[in-house]
């Protein structure tokens, strides 16, 4: 099964052209190193509606991973988790919890993960290091999750047993 991914950068600054999308690029580099083909990258402004509309568009009729970066903290415009929850069919709390455990700053993350159709959506922090660090913490289980979502695998082998 081909591993496909899409990246959504949520940032008022990147949208305004005052900041470079370093987190989106860092995620793309990581995913490509791990065998994923990044088929789309998008940048949007912060906000519940902007996030929910973008994630729904990215996930609909897509079998793969959709990773967002930005908007997961405590700032007044950090509304990515709320926008994400609005479009999820099912939450995947174990993925978000595992990603948070990688760093003490993870305790400040409000990121969520879950599914919409056959897409797996994961929120990551807005910094390049935070985004790649948290995604790296769960990337080992993502191919199996995507197989299950696509109906390709019904095996419940352990990850190490593959």
pTM of this structure: 0.93
Residue 62: inside a domain = yes
- Give percent of the chain with pLDDT exceeding 70: 94
Confidence label for 148 from pLDDT (cuts 50, 70 and 90): very high
Is residue 117, in this structure, part of any structural domain at all? yes
| Domain-located, residue 8 | yes
Classify 117 in phi/psi space as left (phi over 0), alpha (psi -120 to 50) or beta: left
What residues make up the domain containing 40? 4-150
pLDDT of residue 1: 87
Task: Write the CATH number for 76.
Answer: 3.40.980.10
CA dihedral 93, 99, 102, 105 (to 10 degrees): -90
- Asked whether residue 161 is assigned to any structural domain, the reply reads no
Among 110, 140, 115, 139, smallest CA distance to 125 is for: 110
Mean pLDDT score, 89-95: 98
> For the chain, how many structural domains are there in total?
1
- Is the confidence at residue 162, as pLDDT, over 50? no
Please check whether residue 157 lies inside any domain of the structure.
no
Q: Is residue 156 part of a domain?
A: no
pLDDT score for 156: 57
């Amino acid at each position: 099964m081909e591993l496909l991914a899409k990246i959504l950068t949520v940032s008022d600054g990147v949208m305004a052209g005052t900041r470079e999308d370093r987190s989106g690029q860092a995620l793309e580099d990581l995913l490509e190193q791990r065998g994923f083909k990044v088929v789309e990258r998008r940048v949007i402004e912060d906000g519940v509606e902007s996030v929910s509309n973008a994630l729904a568009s990215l996930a609909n009729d897509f079998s793969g991973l959709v990773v967002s970066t930005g908007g997961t903290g405590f700032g007044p415009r950090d509304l990515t988790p709320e926008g994400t929850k609005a479009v999820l069919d099912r939450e995947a709390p174990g993925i978000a919890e595992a990603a948070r455990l990688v760093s003490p700053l993870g305790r400040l993350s409000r990121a969520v993960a879950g599914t919409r159709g056959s897409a797996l959506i994961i929120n990551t922090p807005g910094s390049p290091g935070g985004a790649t660090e948290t995604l790296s913490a769960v990337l080992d289980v993502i191919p199996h999750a995507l197989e299950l979502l696509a109906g390709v695998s019904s095996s419940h082998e352990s990850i190490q047993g593959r």
